[in-house]
Amino acid sequence: MDSHQENSSNLQHNYSEASLQDLVKRLSRIEGHIRGVKNMVETSRPCPDVLVQIAAVRGAVQQVGRIILHEYLRESVARTTQQGDIKTEIEALKTVLDRFLT
């Protein structure tokens, strides 16, 4: 585990109640979509139908990722403003973006 992973695992993000509810609702919807895709495969639904559903799941997961990334950016800017350690925050942000965008 690299030092950033060790550091980031010690940090906890406090979502607002509205943000937390939105994310949980979106993730629950994705979970239901995944079960639906699994059922489609088990019942031998046509591949194009399954692929459309997979594309919908992928889009929903990407949207959740964007929301969480925005939360992280807000938190990172606030932390940098308070602590003034911009170099560390930029490196952490690069790591997060590399993982998220690949």
Does CATH place domain 16-101 in 1.20.58.1000? yes
Question: In sequence order, which residues have a C-beta less than 8 Å from that of residue 22 and are 6 or more positions away?
Answer: 67
Is the confidence at residue 6, as pLDDT, over 80?
no
Per-residue tokens: 62: 């990407």
pLDDT at 1: 45
pLDDT digit string (tens) for 65-95? Answer: 999 988 888 888 887 888 777 888 888 888 8
Q: Which of 67, 66, 68, 90 is nearest to 77 (CA)?
A: 90
What mean pLDDT value characterizes the chain? 86
60 near 34, Cβ under 8 Å? no
Domain ranges of the chain: 16-101
pLDDT at 40: 98
Q: How far apart are CA 93 and CA 30, in angstroms?
A: 26
Average confidence (pLDDT) over 38-51: 98
